[in-house]
Structure 1
C-alpha cells in the first residue's frame, strides 16, 4: 500500500509537543479520586500497552486485504476472465480516492468527525469495501469489484492517519518512535500473512464449498474477517480513549496537519525533486508486487506457493529492517547518500529480474532492504526543506502525487504486460527507477549548492541545532 507502511503522516505528527498525563489518582474539584488497578488506569504503562495492541491491529485488516489481488493473481485472471490491464484496475481504483483524501483525511478527523468517530467510519469503509469487492467476485460482476476497491481506498489511507493520531495521543515522548515502528511492523505482517495464506484459503474453499468464481468470492469474504476484527479494534479504541478523556481530563487527539494548497507555490526545487524520487521509485515497487506471482511462475517455473512466498519477501524484510535502518539513518545522517544507495540497489534488483535467471530470492531480498532504506531516508528529508507550518501540505501533496502515479502506472503496467510481455514491463520499471536516480543526483547537487542541509551528518545537525538553540536563548 502506498507506504502504503505512511511515514509522511508520522513525520508531521512527531511535531506534537510532549505533554505529561495527569495521574488518575490526583485530586479534582470533586475530591480525591480512588486509585485504579494498573491495567485500568489510563496513565499507567500496562493500560497503554493494552491500547497499543488495539492500535497495532487497527490497520491489520486493511493491509491484509489490500494485496488480496496480488496473492490470488492467477485465480483472478482465470475466474473473472480478465486480462492483466483489467486486473491492475483493482489497484488503480484503490489509489484514485487517495489523490484527494490525502488532503482531506486529517481535516475530517480534526474538524468534522473527531478521532474516535472518524476511525470507526474509516474502518467501516474498509470493511464495507472488502464486502462489496467479495460480492463482486461471488456474482462475477467485475464493475462491482472495482466499486468495492474504490470504497476500500476511501478508508484505507485515512485509517493510517487515524492510527498515527492515536499513537501520538497516547505515547507522546520517548515511546513514540517505538510505537510507530511496531505499527509499521504489524502492517507488514498483515501483507505477509495475506501473501502466504490466501492461496491455501482459496484451495480449501474450492475443495469443500464452491467452484469457479464463487470460490474467489467466498475466499474474499473470509479475508474480510480481518477487516471486521480491525473494526472491533476501532470500537475498542474509541471506548478506551473516551474513558481516558473523562478520567484524565484530556482532549481528543489531533493529526497535527495544517493543509494549505497555496503553500505549493512556495515549495523549493529540492522538494519537487523529492516528489519525483518518491513517484519514480514507488511505481516500480507496488505495481510489480501486484503482478509478481505470475511473473515468478512463468519465468522461473515456481509453484504458486513458492511464487507467493518470494513475492512477499519485500514485506517480510521490511518489518524488522525498517526500525533498524531508521535508527542507522538517524545516527549517521547523509540522507541523500542513503537514498542514492537504495535507488541504485533497486535498479540492480530489477535488472537481475529482467535480464538474468539467477535465483529471484536474491533480487527480491535486495529489493526488500532497499525499499526499507529509502522509506527511512527519503520521507524525513521533507522536514529539512520546508518550514514546520508547511509540513502538512508538503506531506499531503507528496502522498497525493504518489497515489496518482500508482494509479496511472498500474494501468500502464497491465497494458504493457498484455501487449509486450514481462521483459518489456521490467524494462519499463527500470526506466522509472532511472528517472528517480537522475532526480537523486540532481538533488545532491542542488543541495550542495544551497549548503548541503539534506546531506549533513547527524553530528553536524546536532551541532547546528545546539548553536541555534544557544543563539535563540
Structure 2
C-alpha cells in the first residue's frame, strides 16, 4: 500500500511550487477527490481529451456530407469549399490573440467555457442554415465555429500544462491529439450513415434532412461544453486545495519579433503552408473523389477518406518518440514530404488500390507533425516562441483559406485530375523548401539536423 502511494506521489510531481503546495493540502480526501492523486488526475485527463472532441468532430462535417451539401443546398464545389475557408479566416488573427485572451482577459476556466459555447453556437447556426435553406447562414456558422475552435485548442493545451507539467506532459499532448483524430474519424464514418437514417425517417432528402443531421452532430459540441464546465469546477477546486495558480498558455506575443526571424525559420513556415494545403483541402474534397474515380460506395469512400486520421491517432505518439530518440528533424521532414508526394502521385496517375496511397499519406502526415513543429523551438529563443508559433499557425490558416477556395474553383472547371496535379505542385514546393532548409542549416552550422546525442552535447557545452 505504501509503495502504491509513493508511486502515485511520484507521478504527481510538477514544479517545486506545486510540490510545496501539495504538502500543505489536506490528506483526508478520498483518492478520487484529492487533486494530488493519480486517479483524480486521470479523470481530469479524460475530460481534457473529450474537451476538443466535439470541435474536431464537427470541423469535417462538410467533408463527410460533401455530396449532400452540394445537392441539397444547390451549390458548386467553389461555394462548398467556402465552408472551410470561413473557418480559417478568423484564425489568421486569433492564433495571436487566443493565448492572450486566456492569460490576460478570461482566465483558463472562463476562456475554455466561452470558447466551447462559441463552438456550440457556430454549429447550431451552421445547422440552421441547412434547415432554413440559407447557405449564407451556413457560412456564418462556420465563421463563428472557427472563432471558437482554434482558441479552444489553445485552452486545452493550457489545461494540460497546468495539470501535467513534467514528465507526463508529452504523453498527455499525444493522447489529446489522438482523441482529436478519433473525433474526425468518427465524423467521417458516422455522418453519412446518420443522414441516410434521417432521410428514411423524413421520407425524402433535402435541406431539412441536412440541417437536422448537422444539429444532431452538434450534440458532440454540447458534450465538450459539459467537459469544459466540469474542468472549470475541478480546476477551481484544486486551486483552493493546493493553493496553485491558474494555468497559463506561456505564449508571449510580440509582433515586433517577426523582424528577427531567420531564413531557416521562414523556410519552416513555407514547408508548413505548402504541405498542409495539400492535406486538409484534399480530405475536404476526398469523399467524392473516391466515389467518382474508384467507384467506391459512399460508406467505403468515407472510410478511406478518414484513414489519414485513423493512422494519425496511434502513430503520432509513436513517431514523436522516434524523433525524440533519434533527432535528425530535417531528414524526417524530408522523408514525410517525399512520401506525401508519392502518395498524391499514386492517387492522381494510377488506379492502384487507393488504400495504399492513403495509408502512406496517413503515416507521412503523422511523421511530419512530429518532426516539423518542434524545429521552431530550435530556431528562436524561448521568449519568442509564442510569436513564432502564432505566426506559423496564422499563415497556415491563411493558406488553408485561400487554397480551399482555389481548390473548389479548379475542381469545378478542370476536374479531379488537375486538382491532384495542383496538390502535387504544392507538395513539390514544400519538398524544395526542405532541401533548401537542409543546405542553409548545413552552411550556417545549425542544429536542426543534429542527432539527439549531438544536441545533448551542445546543451552541456552551453551550461559550462
- State the TM bucket, normalised to the shorter chain: over 0.9
SS of structure 2 residue aligned to 1:21: helix
Instruction: Please give the per-residue CA displacement for 1:135-189, whole angstroms capped at 9, x wherever unaligned.
Output: 0001110000000000000000000000000001001111111111110000000
- Mapped partners of 1:461, 1:20: distance in 2: 29
Match status 1:256 vs 2:250: yes
- Mapped partners of 2:451, 2:22: distance in 1: 45
Preserved contact between residue 108 and residue 155 of structure 2 (Cα < 8 Å):
yes
Preserved contact between residue 24 and residue 35 of structure 1 (Cα < 8 Å):
no
TM-superposed CA distance for 1:466, in Å, is 1.9
- Of 15, 20, 24, 1:18 maps to 15
Unaligned 5+ residue runs, structure 2? Answer: 1-13
TM-superposed CA distance for 1:347, in Å, is 0.4
SS of structure 1 residue aligned to 2:249: coil
Normalising by the residue count of structure 2, what TM-score does the alignment of the two structures yield? 0.95
Label 1:245 to 1:344 Cα distance change in 2 as closer, same or farther (>3 A): same
- Of 33, 39, 42, 1:40 maps to 33
SS of structure 1 residue aligned to 2:383: helix
Unaligned 5+ residue runs, structure 1? Answer: 1-16
- Of 417, 421, 433, 2:411 maps to 417
Label 1:356 to 1:269 Cα distance change in 2 as closer, same or farther (>3 A): same
Match status 1:162 vs 2:162: no
The aligned residue for residue 99 of structure 1 is: 92
SS of structure 1 residue aligned to 2:15: coil
The aligned residue for residue 77 of structure 1 is: 70
SS of structure 1 residue aligned to 2:218: helix
SS of structure 2 residue aligned to 1:433: helix
Preserved contact between residue 22 and residue 36 of structure 2 (Cα < 8 Å):
no
TM-superposed CA distance for 1:34, in Å, is 5.5
TM-superposed CA distance for 1:376, in Å, is 0.3
- CA RMSD in angstroms comes to 1.2
5 Å matches for 1:397-416? 397-416=391-410
The aligned residue for residue 49 of structure 1 is: 42
The aligned residue for residue 386 of structure 2 is: 392
TM-superposed CA distance for 1:463, in Å, is 1.3
Instruction: Please give the per-residue CA displacement for 1:322-357, whole angstroms capped at 9, x wherever unaligned.
Output: 000010011111100010000110000000000000
Preserved contact between residue 24 and residue 242 of structure 2 (Cα < 8 Å):
no
Instruction: Please give the per-residue CA displacement for 1:358-378, whole angstroms capped at 9, x wherever unaligned.
Output: 000000000000000000000
The aligned residue for residue 145 of structure 2 is: 152
The aligned residue for residue 136 of structure 2 is: 143
The aligned residue for residue 331 of structure 1 is: 325
Label 1:27 to 1:189 Cα distance change in 2 as closer, same or farther (>3 A): closer
- Mapped partners of 2:27, 2:121: distance in 1: 42
- Mapped partners of 1:19, 1:244: distance in 2: 17
TM-superposed CA distance for 1:209, in Å, is 3.2
- Mapped partners of 1:20, 1:187: distance in 2: 32
- Mapped partners of 1:86, 1:344: distance in 2: 31
Normalising by the residue count of structure 1, what TM-score does the alignment of the two structures yield? 0.94
How many residues are matched?
A: 450
- Of 286, 291, 294, 2:285 maps to 291
- Mapped partners of 2:416, 2:177: distance in 1: 31
- Mapped partners of 2:32, 2:114: distance in 1: 28
- Mapped partners of 2:17, 2:439: distance in 1: 43
The aligned residue for residue 222 of structure 1 is: 216
The aligned residue for residue 7 of structure 1 is: none
Instruction: Please give the per-residue CA displacement for 1:195-226, whole angstroms capped at 9, x wherever unaligned.
Output: 00111100000111363111100000000000
